[in-house]
């Protein structure tokens, strides 16, 4: 409360004290005087509060305007209607082409496996034909590489804009908040689903063999060495 407001309230208090012992009925003049005193009080209060409220509203308007600019810079429509669907189509095409290539390579290998080596000439012709099929099928790698580059470009585009958005709107404080676990995350945690590991991550087949040996599997003679390997895994 400001000094000005105190002064005005004091005037209302004084008015009420001056009239507290009156026995006569309240007349129109009394009401007019009280109204005058209170109107002056309210008027002074509004005059003092208004600039602060106006400043706050202006600041909020400015923040909303900034946020709209930042959202516009995100190019959400571009991402939603063009880049992300396009990246999805590229990934679908990658899955499809690798599947097709794998099928071709395996079919060629199966044809070679099934060929009769007794007929040397026919066998050699079959092998040569199927090897050519394998070479041709491997061409998928070139196109797949180009498609992956486009998807990576889209991810970089999104990453750059979202990062700028977070920086400009100073959203970092929200990063520490624990997000609620989704159903998919719960399933992955409970069923220990990590997916494939990158090179150098996870454990190798040799380390797995050592661990299984240490648990009392097939090779009892290697328990000591296996335990060392396990210790390394947990180091």
Partner 1 sequence: MALDLQMPILVVDDYKTMIRIIRNLLKQLGFTDVDDAADGAEAYEKMKERRYGLVISDWNMEPVTGYELLKQVRQDADLSKTPFIMVTAESKTENVIAAKKAGVNNYIVKPFNAQTLKGKIEAVFAE
Concatenated DSSP letters for 108-149?
HHHHHHHS-TTSHHHHHHHHHHHHHHHHHHTTHHHHHHHHHH
Q: Which is nearer to partner 1, 182 or 218 (CB)?
A: 218
Q: Which is nearer to partner 1, 63 or 181 (CB)?
A: 181
Give CA–CA dist 32/18, Å, rounded: 15
Q: Which is nearer to partner 1, 19 or 98 (CB)?
A: 98
We find the least distance from the C-beta atom of residue 78 to partner 1, in angstroms, to be: 33
Give CA–CA dist 165/69, Å, rounded: 10
We find the least distance from the C-beta atom of residue 219 to partner 1, in angstroms, to be: 8
Q: Which is nearer to partner 1, 70 or 219 (CB)?
A: 219
We find the least distance from the C-beta atom of residue 90 to partner 1, in angstroms, to be: 21
**Interface with partner 1 by CB under 8 A: which residues?**
99, 102-103, 106, 109-110, 113, 191-197, 201-205, 208, 211-212, 215, 217-218, 233-234
Q: Which is nearer to partner 1, 111 or 154 (CB)?
A: 111
Q: Which is nearer to partner 1, 87 or 210 (CB)?
A: 210
> Which residues, other chains included, contact 229 with Cβ-Cβ below 8 Å and sequence gap of 6+?
206, 207, 210, 211, 214
We find the least distance from the C-beta atom of residue 203 to partner 1, in angstroms, to be: 5
We find the least distance from the C-beta atom of residue 107 to partner 1, in angstroms, to be: 10
Give CA–CA dist 45/34, Å, rounded: 17
We find the least distance from the C-beta atom of residue 106 to partner 1, in angstroms, to be: 6
Give CA–CA dist 172/164, Å, rounded: 11
Cα 192 vs. chain centroid, distance in angstroms?
22
> Which residues, other chains included, contact 130 with Cβ-Cβ below 8 Å and sequence gap of 6+?
108, 109, 111, 112
Two tokens, residue 104: 């071709």
């Amino acid at each position: 409360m400001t000094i000005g407001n105190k002064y005005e309230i004091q005037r209302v208090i004084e008015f009420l004290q001056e009239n507290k012992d009156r026995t006569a009925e309240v007349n129109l003049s009394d009401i007019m005087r009280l109204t005058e005193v209170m109107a002056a009080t309210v008027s002074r209060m509004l005059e003092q509060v208004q600039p602060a409220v106006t400043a706050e509203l202006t600041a909020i308007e400015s923040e909303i305007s900034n946020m709209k600019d930042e959202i516009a810079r995100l190019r959400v429509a571009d991402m939603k209607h063009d880049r992300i669907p396009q990246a999805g189509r590229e990934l679908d095409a990658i899955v499809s082409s690798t599947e097709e290539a794998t099928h071709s390579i395996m079919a060629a290998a199966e044809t070679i496996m099934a060929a009769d080596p007794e007929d040397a000439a026919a066998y050699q012709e079959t092998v040569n034909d199927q090897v050519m099929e394998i070479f041709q099928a491997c061409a998928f790698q070139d196109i797949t590489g180009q498609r992956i580059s486009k998807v990576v470009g889209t991810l970089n585009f999104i990453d750059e804009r979202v990062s700028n958005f977070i920086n400009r709107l100073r959203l970092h404080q929200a990063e520490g908040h624990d997000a609620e676990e989704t159903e998919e995350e719960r399933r992955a945690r409970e069923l220990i689903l990590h997916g494939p590991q990158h090179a150098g991550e996870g454990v190798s087949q040799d380390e797995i063999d050592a661990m299984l040996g240490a648990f009392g599997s097939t090779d009892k003679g290697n328990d000591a060495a296996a335990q060392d390997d396990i210790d390394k895994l947990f180091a």
